[in-house]
Amino acid sequence: MNIIDSSSLNKSFAQNDSGLINLPLFEVKPVKYQIQKTEIENVVFQSRNSVNFFEDFDCLQGKRVFAMGEGTSRSLKEMGVSSIVPNKPGSAGLLECLKLNNYDANTLIVKGKHGLNIVRDELERMGHKVFEAECYEREKLSSYTKLKLDYAAADAIVFTSCFSVQIYLEELHASDSKAKLFGISKRICDYAKDIGLQIIEIDYFSEGLKEEIVRSI
């Protein structure tokens, strides 16, 4: 059973016995950024990469820290930072959490270059003061030739971002592919369906991830 995990973070996050082969579809590189530490009361991390490339953890003391989802929260915990996680992962769930708990404050959003602006735009619409720290960027690989055979032979492929879905369709997808496709969030699955791919949503952080995938094949 060939199960490919396209995550750029698998090596530092997944268990060694996960049973998945890690073959990332893009590279992640740091970006220089500046923040106004004194005015910040809330800090939102939009992804695990935003945690990995953030360099100012000293400024989080005394701040409310929010993680967009469970994976981001776990990455923060590895850095010794406790975080608030919305009941529903993603931008909508985080905004609901902020509104229900009346977390009205100056907010720093830590994200990737060209990352989602949903939280920023809504908070600004509500009159909040928002700062951003774009601490990383994603780049396509220079060539996908070496990955074609592996992806062509896959029984299942797991996508952890919309960008990886886009790259797969552009560079590696074949009309006769037998691989079952899986996404780790509703947003990723909706994006894949919108561009014509059949995909199944899974719980990427469950202990029985491989078993869940195998049952779906």
Strand order in the sheet with 26-30: 26-30, 130-140, 107-112, 42-45, 64-67
pLDDT in tens, 45-101: 999 999 999 999 999 999 999 999 888 999 999 999 999 999 888 899 999 998 988
Q: Using alpha carbons only, what angle is made at residue 74 by residues 72 and 76, rounded to the nearest 5 degrees?
A: 70
Higher pLDDT, 71 or 109: 109
Tokens of 26: 């893009």
Tokens of 9: 């973070």
The per-residue DSSP string of 35-46 comes to --GGG-SEEEE-
Q: What are the backbone angles phi and psi of residue 34, rounded to the nearest 5°?
A: -135, 145
Calculate the average pLDDT of the chain.
91
Mean pLDDT of 15-32: 83
Largest CA distance in the chain: 56
pTM, entire model: 0.83
Residue pair 181/159 in contact (Cβ under 8 Å)? The answer is yes
How many Å apart are CA 3 and CA 22, to the nearest integer? 9
How many Å apart are CA 155 and CA 134, to the nearest integer? 36
Residues 6+ apart with CB under 8 A from 147: 23, 25, 141, 171, 172
How many Å apart are CA 125 and CA 129, to the nearest integer? 10
- pLDDT value at residue 214: 92
How many Å apart are CA 45 and CA 47, to the nearest integer? 6
pLDDT in tens, 129-170: 999 999 999 999 999 999 999 999 999 999 999 999 999 999
